[in-house]
Amino acid sequence: MSHFSDKIDTVKQYLLQLQSSICTSLEALEPEQRFAEDNWQRPQGGGGRIRILENGSVFEKGGVAFSHVTGTELPPSATAHRPELAGAKWQAMGVSLVIHPRNPFAPTSHMNVRFFIAEKPGQEPVWWFGGGYDLTPYYGFEEDCIHWHQTAEAACQPFDPNLYDRLKAWCDDYFYLKHRDEPRGIGGIFFDDLNDWSFETCFAFMQSVGNSYIPAYLPIVEKRKDTPYTEANRQWQEYRRGRYVEFNLVFDRGTLFGLQSGGRTESILMSMPPVVQWRYCFEPEPGSPEQALLSHYLIDRDWLGRG
């Protein structure tokens, strides 16, 4: 197990460095506000380091969280697909972030990379990686969506030429609001339970995903952050943010795992947008940019134009 402890430590050091580099890159766009750091300890084992930026001129709210938590018994959400691990000791570590720009023409983004280890006495540790990123625009721009997906494909390409297509489909399927019958956004890539390759290759892929997030997202925010907008644009943004909240509270496995495992509520819910509204039976005007988001962007599409 000591040999495996070295691997765990290597992953942890990468994740801490990733959190710092992402925060530095995001702050480069923000004139004055900076990420505040909150270190916390979990009574049941482990802890984390959260960095939160609020009330920026570019980013209305952003949270970039590192956590490394341990437990003596896996919760139900983690063993639904692996019943043989019920009751195992476990460790989970990862970086998770959600960024909510102020400008309605700049999209919200989410990224997560994580590593999970389960152990039962007398058995080899069972480990897997997971993660991905997805984009939630409030107004659609073809070139932004294409850039986002091209960057995701480039992160997957060295590992398997067909990998992007599989993870894109997985993302589309996962970030879907069944009760609304609509996608949360324009997708990206999503993977979980990754242990098909060697530990080194799986870890390298997780790093490829984590390292490609800023190249995928920052150019889009730079392009859209100063776009003039009206109060009506802002109202639409706040209304669509409601879908984000609905997904996180109803479907998101990470949220459910955190709450079921006695996680820190403030950390788990840091992804929530700062200002949201729900309107009864609201429908955008036919032919409007708002309606175009629903009809042209929030649909199953091949953004790379290969089909």
Catalytic residue positions? 110
Neighbours of 18 (CB within 10 A): 23
Q: What is the C-alpha separation between 224 and 36, in angstroms, rounded?
A: 25
Q: Is 96 annotated as a binding residue?
A: yes
The answer to the question of whether 110 is labelled as a binding residue is: yes
Taking alpha carbons only, the member of 94, 87, 93 closest to residue 123 is 87
* DSSP run (H or E) holding 267: helix 265-268
DSSP, collapsed to helix, strand or coil, labels residue 52 as strand
- Of 62, 60, 55, whose CA–CA distance to 19 is shortest? 62
Q: Would you call 307 helix, strand, or coil by DSSP?
A: coil
HEC readout, 232-247: HHHHHHHHHHHHHHHH
Is 102 annotated to bind a ligand? Reply is no
Any binding-site annotation on 166? Answer: no
Nearest to 116 by CA among 146, 82, 140, 147: 82
Question: How far, in Å, CA of 298 to CA of 290, rounded?
Answer: 11
114 is in an annotated binding site: yes
* DSSP E strand boundaries for 55-194: 59-71, 89-101, 108-119, 126-136, 176-177, 182-183, 187-194
Asked if residue 42 belongs to a known ligand binding site, the reply is no
Contact 178/251 with Cβ under 8 angstroms?
A: yes
Residue 233, marked binder: no
Strand 126-136 with 46-54, pairing: unpaired
Three-state SS for 146? Answer: helix
Q: Considering only CA atoms, which of 270, 268, 259 is closest in space to residue 75?
A: 259
Q: What is the largest CA-CA distance in the chain?
A: 64
Binding residues for a divalent metal cation: 100, 110, 149, 179
Binding residues for substrate: 96, 112-114, 262-264
Binding residues: 96, 100, 110, 112-114, 149, 179, 262-264
